[in-house]
Structure formats: C-alpha cells, structure tokens
C-alpha cells in the first residue's frame, strides 16, 4: 500500500523468460551444451570428450555469465544489428515538423507512419520545497493519465519530457553563475493532432501551451550544434558507445529497473535537475484491461511453475522472487476489480560537444540515477534507437 507522502507505486520491469526465469537464448544455449556434452561422452574418444566438455562450458558461460548488464545471448542480436545496420544518414528520415492543416489544429511532429505528436510546454514550480504546488500538479496529471485508461477513452501515447542544460549568462554580468535551464513538456501522439493544452486544462492542469512550428524546431534543434537543423534531420554516425553528429556527440540510456516500493511525484528530481544537457523521456500508454490481465496471469503461472521446480530441486526461493510474486498477486487483484494498467518506457539521452564531456556527463547521470533508485542501462551498439526514444512520439510502450 502506498502512503500519502508517497502515493505512487511503479511496477517491476517485465522479464520474459521460459523455465526457471531463463530467457529463450539461455535455454537454447543450455540445451545445446547438454547435447554436445552427451555427444562427446558417447563418441568414445578423448578428443570427442574434450570437445564436448569445452562446448558444454561455453554454453554454460553463454547462459549464465552477464557482460555489461546483459547475457551473452542478448549481445548477439545487438552486435549483429550494429554491424548490419547502415550507420550513417539522418536519425529518422521521413519525420517532419508540420503546421496544422486547419486553423484549429496545432503544429505537430508527423512521423513516417502517419502518427502526429503535439508537444505542450508546462510551467510549474518543480520542487516541493518552493511551494505546495508540485503535489497538486502531480495529482492533476496523474488523474488525467488515469482517465485515459477508462472505457471509451482515446488511444493515445503520452510522453513526459524534461530537458536540462546550462543557463544563459548575462552579457552585462558575465561573472554571475548562469545556473541551469529546465524545460518540462507533455506530448501526446495519436492518428490526428490533439490539442494537448486544452485537454490538460479540462483535467485541471493549467498553464500548458502547445508549441508552434518554431517551438518544435527549437526543441529538436537545441540538442545539436546551431546551423545543423534538428536532431532528426542531421547526418549522424552510429558508433558502439555513442552517436556522432557533425559537431556534437550523444549517448542514450534506458531505464532497466524502477524504484521498488512507493514513490512521490518528485522521485526523478535528481535526474531532471542538472547542468548537463539531458533529455529525460517517459513514454506511457494505457494497456487494454483484458490484455493486462492475461499478461499478469502468464507471469504468475510461470513464476508458480518455477517455484515448484525450485522446491522439488531442494533449493530455496530467492527474496526477489517472493517479492515479485507478492506484487504480481496484488496487481492481479487490482486488475480484477477494474483498475487500469499502463506501460512505461523510460529513456535518457545526453548531448555534449566532445567525447570527454560526454563520458563525464554519463558518470554524473549514473550517480543521479542511483540517488533516485533507478537502474539505467547504456544502449551499447544501439544508440540510434536510444536517442530516438527520447524524442516525443517515437517510442510506443
């Protein structure tokens, strides 16, 4: 149960496994190792036995040894895609900023699949130490998101976007600390442009203003050096550890684990207050109730089967498994009485002028993430998609 001071509770990251929590790649590697070991024993020769044992040990390493937070079976498709994918060219060809076709339609970002994303800038006092407003603001936004999960609500993808960076120093007083710049936005992606500011105002979230064409161009162009257009249209080169633009470098991280337990509306404040050029994006989509119930039932069934196998083998269940089982049971009870379900994808991108500055910003980002209780994973070999995940409207949970 959540407390009044921490009224929100985030679900655990979804882990798709097969037997005993093993991924498909892990299970396949274990099966190949077992077959190779049996074949080596049955060969009747010393060379065959050695080859079978070596293959079994290699399969065990693939199935159990993590490298950089991922299993070796997970790195294979990433590395293959990185080698095969075209590394140069525009970040996202076919996406463009367009004005509204009608007078009442707002300017929007039109994607290649026809989806339109409207971005609204919101103004609020970001820290509760300044006023009581952040709690009321967060509750209003949460109520609006919960309303999207009701029957008959439109199927929208919502992105909560925060950009940070150094402030602007005064020309008349260059010795004054410029501080930091923080911009908060809410974006809505749908088949047709949505007037986000009006939708938020109807839910009690006031002060939002839909960005026009110039505002969208500025939002996307501020992430690269001036004169090179926007982050979507400039030529970039995808490296294994970063993304190279003509005069800037970029790195992306995905949220691998959310904080366990109850949180308040400010638990991401350390990530969203920085002088580094960060873009923090949380993409949210309401999940259909029947699908959410089926997904939770599958997770509980798989966990119960794993528990039976562990018990029959004489092993003790891990505390993490007991914790996840309790949370899944609680979630199933909530879904049974009609509560909605939302899918979240969190991504953070860093923009810097050189590699040294980028790596220093990465260290500070990981330290701030640890303060929030969030575990991040760097998008090694796939920074193109990681950076795109921080552009409102591209990522659909």
Q: What is the set of domains in the chain, with CATH numbers?
A: 13-84 (no CATH), 87-290+336-388 (3.40.462)
Given this model, what pLDDT does residue 299 score? 80
**Do 72 and 59 meet the contact criterion of CB atoms below 8 Å apart?**
no
Mean pLDDT value of segment 246-275: 87
Q: Pick 308 or 116 by higher pLDDT.
A: 116
Angle at 250 between CA 73 and CA 74, to 5 degrees: 5
Residue with tokens 């002028």: 353
- Angle of helix 46-64 relative to helix 24-42, nearest 10 degrees, comes to 170
> End-to-end CA distance of the chain, in Å?
26
Q: Pick 177 or 247 by higher pLDDT.
A: 247
Flag whether pLDDT at 117 surpasses 80.
yes
Residue with tokens 């960060």: 278
Mean pLDDT value of segment 157-172: 82
pTM of the model: 0.82
**Do 109 and 216 meet the contact criterion of CB atoms below 8 Å apart?**
yes
pLDDT tier, 129 (very low <50, low <70, confident <90, very high otherwise)? very low
Phi, psi of 81 (to 5 degrees): -65, -35
Closest CA to 320 of 335, 306, 332, 336: 306
Closest CA to 394 of 157, 148, 100: 157
pLDDT tier, 133 (very low <50, low <70, confident <90, very high otherwise)? low
Radius of gyration of the chain (CA): 24
Q: Pick 111 or 136 by higher pLDDT.
A: 111
Q: What is the mean pLDDT of the chain?
A: 81
- Angle of helix 46-64 relative to helix 72-84, nearest 10 degrees, comes to 80
């Amino acid at each position: 149960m959540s407390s009044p001071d921490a009224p929100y509770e985030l679900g655990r990251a979804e882990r798709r496994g097969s037997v005993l929590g093993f991924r498909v790649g892990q299970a396949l590697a274990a099966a190949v190792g077992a077959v190779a070991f049996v074949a080596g024993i049955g060969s009747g020769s010393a060379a065959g036995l050695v080859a079978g044992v070596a293959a079994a040990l290699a399969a065990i390493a693939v199935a159990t040894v993590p490298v950089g937070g991922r299993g070796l079976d997970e790195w294979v498709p990433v590395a293959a895609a990185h080698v095969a994918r075209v590394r140069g060219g525009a970040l996202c060809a076919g996406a463009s900023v367009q004005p509204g076709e009608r007078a009442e339609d707002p300017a929007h970002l039109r994607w290649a699949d026809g989806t339109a994303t409207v971005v609204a800038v919101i103004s609020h006092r970001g820290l509760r130490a300044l006023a009581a407003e952040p709690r009321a603001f967060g509750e209003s936004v949460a109520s609006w998101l919960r309303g999207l999960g009701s029957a008959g609500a439109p199927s929208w993808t919502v992105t909560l976007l925060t950009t940070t960076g150094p402030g602007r120093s005064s020309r008349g007083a260059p010795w004054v600390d410029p501080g930091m710049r923080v911009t908060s936005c809410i974006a809505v992606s749908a088949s047709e442009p949505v007037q986000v500011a009006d939708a938020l105002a109807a839910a009690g979230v006031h002060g939002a203003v839909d960005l026009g064409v110039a505002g969208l161009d500025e939002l996307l162009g501020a992430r690269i050096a001036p004169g090179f257009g926007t982050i979507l249209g400039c030529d970039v080169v995808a490296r294994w550890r970063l993304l190279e633009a003509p005069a800037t470098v970029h790195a992306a991280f995905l949220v691998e684990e959310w904080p366990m337990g109850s949180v308040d509306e400010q638990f991401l404040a350390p990530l969203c207050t920085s002088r580094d050029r960060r873009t923090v994006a949380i993409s949210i989509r309401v999940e259909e109730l029947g699908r959410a119930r089926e997904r939770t039932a599958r997770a509980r069934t798989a966990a119960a089967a794993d528990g039976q196998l562990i018990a029959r083998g004489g092993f003790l269940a891990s505390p993490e498994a007991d914790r996840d089982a309790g949370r899944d049971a609680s979630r199933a009870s909530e879904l049974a009485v009609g509560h909605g379900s939302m899918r979240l994808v969190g991504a953070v991108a860093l923009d810097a002028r050189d590699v040294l500055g980028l790596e220093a910003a990465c260290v500070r980002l990981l330290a701030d993430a640890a303060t929030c209780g969030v575990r991040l994973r760097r998008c090694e070999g796939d920074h193109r998609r990681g950076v795109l995940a921080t552009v409102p409207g591209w990522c659909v949970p």
